[in-house]
Structure 1
């Protein structure tokens, strides 16, 4: 998907809790929200399995979208001509943190 289509959704969920993010993504009418929803599910499952964090205490601390490579194809047209097709891709990064641990770390500094 395009970087602009993904950023429109990522800007809505940045800094929100995990449950609130799921509700927002499920109700958004954009087609790009489904892959981002799957990515948030995966990040929460990784935090739960690998770090032992509770999903209810997670919030999105960092969410960014960067441009990826552009897939270029040629489509045949009339009279032997060709028409370029450019499919943009993007890299989405989502970082989840625990509310209680992040506030404890901030108070020590």
Structure 2
């Protein structure tokens, strides 16, 4: 079983969030949260919150109440582009520059490792 969390309309570009997701993809949740907690980037805090939300969603599900949250691992983690808001920056001589405020949608899926899933289904 998997649980997912989507953090939408984050005011941060996908280019800055993607390295944080590459860092934690495929790792256990507790290792990923520990690694992100000590990074100084704003993107690390965004990804950390999304992972915590996915773990909470897993625990609140029917099967998740029986599982220790430290056993979970990050199955998928990706970022998509959100809508871009455009702002105008006045410049000299009557010109105007266009400033693009980019947003992102961060998605994280957590679940049990493959070996643990097959072992739990065989016991039942």
Q: Same fold (TM over 0.5)?
A: yes
1:26 aligns with 2:37: yes
Q: Which residue of 2 aligns with 1:90?
A: 104
Superposition RMSD in Å? 2.1
Per the TM alignment, residue 20 of structure 1 is displaced from its structure 2 partner at its CA by: 0.1
- Structure 2: runs of 5 or more not aligned: 1-11
Structure showing greater relative contact order (alpha-carbon pairs closer than 8 Å, 6 or more residues apart):
2
**Number of aligned positions between the proteins:** 106
The alignment's TM-score, normalised by the length of structure 1, stands at: 0.84
Moved over 4 A (4+): none
1:76 maps to which of 66, 83, 90 = 90
The Cα of 1:104 is off from its aligned counterpart by 4.0
1:59 match: 73
- Please identify which structure carries the higher helix content: 1
